[in-house]
Structure 1
């Protein structure tokens, strides 16, 4: 019996060493290691263990929109700090199976068949949570959900449930760069209206994030470009692809969200998150062709031609379960009339101790090489055809016989 305390101490020591080795490995691999010391009152009495995945941090986080792109990274980060995850979803079980292992055994609670219209289900989902994260959003309207319901009515319903609960201490709301009352698209205008709902109803406990278009392994940006490049004989650029954007790596956005939870200074604040490079849509497409080593087949498509085509897809989307490509919806075409770059005088990555990565080199763009015909070292080389690298030295190397991301 006297050996039990000694054995327990040895186990705790081994766990601490294992945790330290994991953090060191993460640093070597360029991954982010997250602290479990979040700025939420009353956690000290609940914490157990040295910190990390197999500990208990005292955080219970409900993530709405958990099946989305960014949500999986945020869920993984919270799970790695010993937090409990409550994950409501309405999609097929296979679409969220990867989330089941993002926390330790017993720390991930899945709530299937969830509906944002069911107020009882909403209250049940947040009943034990001290952190609530809203990442529900829509890129295009469907026959089931309109922009106003997803971006305005839903945040209002969630805000009422949070105020009734009285247990939620931190609320994270995801919007997007360019969401303004006078934006050219309804998607962005309704996103802006949703932000105002959050500020008015939950201002003291809320933090709003407005990331630029996000890139990463599961993104709908470079993946969409590459997929179209491989499938279509020509690549249509709406109005020549002149819209300017500032893409941001999804892991940097997740790191910013986690860092915001470590300080009370982020409460009531809005953060605009963008990557270090400004790229037009045409430059993004050209970069995609170079990276997958295919000849650039893009051609200009005037909006006068694109809008009538989009009207057909719009009618199909709102009257049937079928949807066309996002970039061929009328709202998206209207959205491409604006530029989406970081405005001046706003809070950003630097206020959350995150240095954003370039999205055109290294690990952030590694996944795009999957589209190369025949494998990593095969495919047409754009530079051998006399085409200059996109964006100058920042995106390629003049004179090289390989793509800028080789």
Structure 2
């Protein structure tokens, strides 16, 4: 893999930041495409990383970004969108139109490899707009057979900087108890380092071309169990109360009309109608098949959710 050139879309986010660092360790030259260079300032000092400001939804910009690359990696995803059929406009733009544009650009430029981030539960008939748009994105990823796509479907991803366990830890630091919709929904959380390793292994191994890999951790938890663990590890143990379906939906509707990014939407609840776990019948297409031993949540989460560790992280970012 050394001396390989890769362009990464969505590199400045939680998963992308970990993946770029992992690629650099392997000697890969990484182009980070971002709307604003300021968003990538935490990556600028990594060796062999080039930050390029670009509108990734512009075909001409995409052509310039993929030119001369050995592979393109797309991690771009959004959790919320206005409503629509079969999915809303923000989901269409990020999950369907963008991968189609990237793969088209790769085909024109002769880039033979494309790695695509999807999601566990992606299905054309899924109960949520998010799941349906992710399935359509997978079809877009396969639009050009000459561009060999590898698709990854992770469950919820945890690790330092995540927006899942950290969110529930923060909420429990402020609230006397946790009212929780879909408390019984099951998840199979996967460590961000294992996700990054899966992408690296796929780049290295030509046998992963045209394959779909489901990524999950070694254990399945209900949402209520994960929220309790977040409270426990962060030192803010709170009672967790499951909400009836109608009340949970009302709660999500209220979140949707509040200013800012909603914490929960009705579409998020729709996604949780299907358990977010790996089908045990298809173990041959999981991280284990890539030689990765899944990392237990209990081995990592206590370190970054603890109050002391978060203070240490703040001091490190401040250079203290």
Please report the TM-score for the alignment, with normalisation by the length of structure 1: 0.71
1:76 to 6, 21, 27: 21
CA distance in 2, matches of 1:100, 1:323: 27
1:290 counterpart residue number: 232
2:168 counterpart residue number: 225
Which deviates further from its counterpart, 228-237 or 246-255? 228-237
2:41 counterpart residue number: 97
CA distance in 1, matches of 2:268, 2:275: 13
1:149 maps onto 2:89 in alignment:
no
The number of residues matched between the two structures is 306
CA distance in 1, matches of 2:197, 2:311: 35
The 3-state SS of whatever aligns with 1:345 is: helix
The 3-state SS of whatever aligns with 1:87 is: strand
CA distance in 2, matches of 1:282, 1:170: 39
1:337 maps onto 2:273 in alignment:
yes
1:211 maps onto 2:151 in alignment:
no
CA distance in 1, matches of 2:43, 2:288: 30
5 Å matches for 1:251-400?
251-315=193-257, 322-325=260-263, 328-343=264-279, 344-346=281-283, 347-361=285-299, 363-370=300-307
Q: 1:81 to 1:155 in 2, by over 3 A?
A: same
CA distance in 1, matches of 2:171, 2:224: 14
The 3-state SS of whatever aligns with 2:306 is: helix
Q: 1:203 to 1:173 in 2, by over 3 A?
A: farther
CA distance in 2, matches of 1:374, 1:165: 46
CA distance in 1, matches of 2:148, 2:302: 35
Residues 135-178 of structure 1 show CA distances to partners (whole Å, capped at 9, x for unaligned) of 01101126996111111111111111111111x13210011111
CA distance in 1, matches of 2:231, 2:309: 10
The alignment's C-alpha RMSD in Å is: 2.3
Contact 1:175 1:195 in 2 (8 A): yes
Residues 270-327 of structure 1 show CA distances to partners (whole Å, capped at 9, x for unaligned) of 111110000000111112222223332222222312323433443567xxxx3221xx
CA distance in 2, matches of 1:365, 1:305: 32
Between structure 1 and structure 2, the one with the greater Rg is 1
Contact 1:142 1:323 in 2 (8 A): no
How far is the alpha carbon of 1:91 from its aligned partner?
4.2
2:79 to 139, 146, 157: 139
Residues 3-26 of structure 1 show CA distances to partners (whole Å, capped at 9, x for unaligned) of xxxxxxxxxxxxxxxxxxxxxxxx
1:126 counterpart residue number: 66
1:110 maps onto 2:43 in alignment:
no
Contact 1:80 1:102 in 2 (8 A): no
CA distance in 1, matches of 2:249, 2:218: 32
Residues 80-121 of structure 1 show CA distances to partners (whole Å, capped at 9, x for unaligned) of 22221111112460x311111222xxx222112x22321111
CA distance in 2, matches of 1:313, 1:203: 44
CA distance in 2, matches of 1:287, 1:313: 24
2:316 counterpart residue number: none
- Structure 1: where are the runs of 5+ without partners? 1-37, 39-56, 376-406
Contact 1:58 1:83 in 2 (8 A): yes
CA distance in 2, matches of 1:164, 1:137: 24
Please report the TM-score for the alignment, with normalisation by the length of structure 2: 0.88
How far is the alpha carbon of 1:248 from its aligned partner?
0.7
How far is the alpha carbon of 1:229 from its aligned partner?
0.4
CA distance in 2, matches of 1:118, 1:373: 38
The 3-state SS of whatever aligns with 2:114 is: strand
CA distance in 1, matches of 2:282, 2:191: 22
How far is the alpha carbon of 1:203 from its aligned partner?
6.6
- Structure 2: where are the runs of 5+ without partners? 313-320
CA distance in 1, matches of 2:309, 2:177: 17
Q: 1:370 to 1:202 in 2, by over 3 A?
A: farther
How far is the alpha carbon of 1:364 from its aligned partner?
4.7
